[in-house]
């Protein structure tokens, strides 16, 4: 039986005894003694009730505090699990995007080689005394096939760039920009620059300007996926 029920049971028993004393009409002295005893008992019970109430309130406060701490721990754990999941997804996404870069490099190299071959082929068409085999190689039909092949490579490259861009990945600017150690790696330095790197009046670029790109770099809004390998202009002393 709880303390509260015990108190109420004792009060009910005392009231029953008091009613019995009044009914039997005990002498005044006895009734007064009974009332005094009842008053003492009620005071004792009141103290017990007060202690029981304070104990119950303290226990309820402790329970509420423990529940609040438990809820806070659960919320913290849920937030931590969510952060870990987001980090894993971000890391997996970054690895997948980085895996596309070598394929994109291969396309860039193939397109550049195709352009050089087309330029050499166009020069060969002007040469005299071509053999029949050479004439076939530099024929318009052969050039059209090569141009179509290069167009296909460019289309694939554009699609890969669109996939990277959808993931927040963009190429790092190089040629014409000032060397930035946080984005570029200088693989060489040169004191001679191509004509297109000069300004409109023929003035060479400032020292530290990137004049060629050896390998393209890529970055996101937060960090660099791969640094760009560049050639930097350094004028002679």
State pLDDT tens for residues 59-98.
888 888 888 888 888 888 888 888 888 888 877 878 888 8
- Look over the chain and give the mean of its residue pLDDT values, rounded to a whole number: 80
CA distance 212 to 189: 10
| Domain assignment present for 150 | no
Question: Quick one: 210 exposed, middle or buried, by C-beta within 10 A (0-12, 13-18, 19+)?
Answer: buried
Residue 203: CB partners within 8 Å, gap ≥ 6?
A: none
| Domain termination site, one of 83, 118, 133 | 83
CATH number for the domain including 215? 2.30.22.10
| Domain assignment present for 141 | no
| Domain assignment present for 116 | no
- In the chain, what is the greatest distance between 2 CA atoms, to the nearest angstrom? 153
Domain of 73 in residue numbering reads as 3-83
| Domain assignment present for 104 | no
The percentage of residues in the chain with a pLDDT greater than 70, rounded to a whole number, is 76
Note the pTM of the prediction, 2 decimals.
0.57
Residue 139 pLDDT exceeds 80: no
| Domain termination site, one of 83, 113, 139 | 83
CA distance 33 to 27: 10
The percentage of residues in the chain with a pLDDT greater than 90, rounded to a whole number, is 19
Residue 234 pLDDT exceeds 60: yes
Question: Which pLDDT belongs to residue 172?
Answer: 94
Question: Quick one: 211 exposed, middle or buried, by C-beta within 10 A (0-12, 13-18, 19+)?
Answer: buried
Mean per-residue pLDDT, 195-200? 67
| Domain termination site, one of 83, 103, 133 | 83
Domain count, the chain: 2
């Amino acid at each position: 039986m709880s303390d509260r029920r015990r108190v109420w049971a004792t009060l009910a028993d005392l009231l029953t005894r008091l009613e019995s004393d009044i009914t039997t009409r005990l002498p005044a002295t006895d009734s007064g003694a009974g009332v005094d005893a009842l008053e003492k008992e009620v005071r004792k019970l009141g103290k017990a009730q007060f202690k029981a109430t304070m104990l119950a309130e303290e226990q309820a406060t402790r329970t509420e505090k423990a529940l609040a701490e438990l809820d806070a721990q659960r919320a913290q754990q849920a937030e931590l699990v969510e952060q870990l999941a987001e980090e894993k997804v971000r890391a997996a996404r970054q690895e997948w995007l980085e895996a596309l870069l070598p394929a994109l490099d291969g396309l860039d190299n193939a397109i550049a080689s195709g352009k050089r071959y087309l330029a050499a082929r166009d020069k060969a068409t002007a040469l005299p005394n071509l053999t029949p085999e050479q004439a076939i190689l530099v024929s318009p039909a052969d050039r059209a096939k090569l141009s179509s092949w290069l167009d296909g490579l460019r289309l694939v490259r554009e699609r890969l760039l669109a996939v990277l861009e959808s993931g927040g990945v963009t190429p790092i600017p190089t040629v014409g920009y000032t060397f930035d150690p946080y984005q570029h790696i200088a693989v060489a330095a040169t004191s001679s620059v191509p004509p297109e790197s000069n300004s409109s009046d023929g003035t060479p670029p400032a020292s530290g300007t990137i004049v060629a790109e050896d390998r393209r770099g890529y970055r996101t809004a937060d960090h660099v996926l791969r640094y760009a390998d560049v050639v930097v202009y350094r004028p002679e002393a």
